[in-house]
């Protein structure tokens, strides 16, 4: 059972997923739960373990999915203690569960043309300031730059907690979009006009959701204003507080 816990835990960590680890830290009375019992919640579902009973598991599940920082949930198993979650049970005693949310590291993926790109620089700088991890793909990348070639996109795992910003200027759009086939990031945004976007998508033969133009409408002009627009959209998605989109066209 312990090996199963490590397998589930390590898999979620390696896949950069958000999840919640719940651990019994103390009990009194006759609860079947004992300190050390663990449960893992992922996508609002229990994917591993139990805290002693289905009723307790569901009570902790319902309470913990709204917790973003470490906390303790106290459960009353029939003793009548105020401020505890009340459970209808004859066990008596109490149960305390430590709630530990794990947040996958959010990653900004910038894809750009060769040469200096002042918008890419602004997006990178602002993203670092906001605590995102940065991954850059560009065909002018040197081996020691920490950047990658555009052809490396296919072999890179891109999915949950990744936010892709395409800053190519036309000729590489379709090539980049094709490299993203099968990837499922939380967001893909393209800096382009609607006409260019439609032209690009007419040459794509698979379904992919791309926002164009990337970002929210704030009448941005300067590179950093554009970066603020793009990062504002990404933050709204990351925090699951979506603002109204300008337009998203699906390639049906």
- 82-109 residue pLDDT tens: 788 887 776 778 899 999 998 877 899 9
Please state the pTM of the whole predicted model: 0.65
Question: Can you tell me whether residue 23 is helix, strand or coil?
Answer: strand
CA dist., res. 176 & res. 198, Å (int): 15
- Mean pLDDT in residue range 96-125: 92
Same structural domain, 143 and 227: yes
Residue that finishes a domain, picked among 102, 122, 156: 102
Question: Can you tell me whether residue 93 is helix, strand or coil?
Answer: coil
Are the beta carbons of 91 and 119 closer than 8 angstroms? no
Mean pLDDT of the chain: 87
User: What are 185's two structure tokens?
Assistant: 């990031």
Quick: pLDDT tens for 29-61. 877 888 999 999 998 899 999 998 888 999 999
Same structural domain, 97 and 177: no
Same structural domain, 125 and 237: yes
- Mean pLDDT in residue range 145-173: 89
pLDDT at 161 over 50: yes
With tokens 């139990």, the residue in question is 50
Are the beta carbons of 112 and 138 closer than 8 angstroms? yes
Same structural domain, 153 and 225: yes
Are the beta carbons of 171 and 129 closer than 8 angstroms? no
Same structural domain, 155 and 72: no
* Residue 134: exposure state from Cβ atoms within 10 A (0-12, 13-18, ≥19): middle
Per-residue confidence (pLDDT) for residue 105, from 0 to 100: 76
Same structural domain, 198 and 137: yes
* Residue 37: exposure state from Cβ atoms within 10 A (0-12, 13-18, ≥19): buried
Same structural domain, 86 and 36: yes
pLDDT at 247 over 90: no
Overall number of domains in the chain? 2
Same structural domain, 41 and 166: no
User: What are 230's two structure tokens?
Assistant: 């793009």
User: What are 118's two structure tokens?
Assistant: 């002042």
pLDDT at 223 over 70: yes
At residue 70, φ and ψ (nearest 5 deg) are: -55, 140
CATH number of the structural domain spanning residue 112: 3.40.50.720
Q: Which domain holds residue 87?
A: 2-102
- Of residues 85 and 199, which shows the higher confidence score? 199
Least confident of 94-98, 119-123, 139-143: 139-143
DSSP 133: E
Residue that finishes a domain, picked among 102, 117, 146: 102
């Amino acid at each position: 059972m312990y090996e199963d816990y490590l397998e589930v835990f390590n898999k979620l960590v390696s896949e950069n997923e958000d999840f919640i680890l719940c651990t019994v830290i103390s009990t009194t009375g006759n609860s079947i739960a004992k300190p050390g019992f663990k449960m893992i919640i992922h996508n609002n579902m229990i994917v591993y373990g139990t805290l002693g009973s289905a009723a307790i598991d569901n009570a902790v599940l319902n309470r913990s999915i709204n917790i973003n920082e470490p906390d303790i949930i106290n459960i009353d198993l029939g003793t009548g203690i105020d401020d505890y979650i009340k459970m209808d049970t004859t066990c008596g005693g109490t149960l305390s569960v430590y709630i530990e949310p794990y947040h996958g590291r959010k990653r900004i993926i910038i894809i750009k043309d060769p040469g200096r790109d002042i918008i890419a620089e602004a997006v990178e700088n602002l993203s670092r300031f906001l605590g995102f991890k940065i991954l850059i793909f560009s065909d002018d990348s040197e081996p020691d730059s920490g950047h990658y070639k555009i052809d490396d996109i296919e072999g890179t795992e891109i999915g949950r907690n990744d936010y892709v910003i395409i800053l190519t200027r036309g000729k590489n759009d379709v090539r980049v979009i094709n490299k993203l086939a099968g990837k499922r990031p939380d967001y893909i945004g393209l800096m382009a006009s609607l006409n260019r976007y439609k032209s690009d998508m007419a040459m794509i033969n698979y379904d992919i959701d791309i926002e164009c133009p990337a970002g929210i409408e704030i009448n941005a002009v300067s590179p950093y204003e554009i970066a603020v627009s793009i990062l504002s959209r990404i933050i709204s998605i990351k925090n699951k507080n979506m603002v109204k989109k300008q337009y998203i066209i699906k390639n049906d």
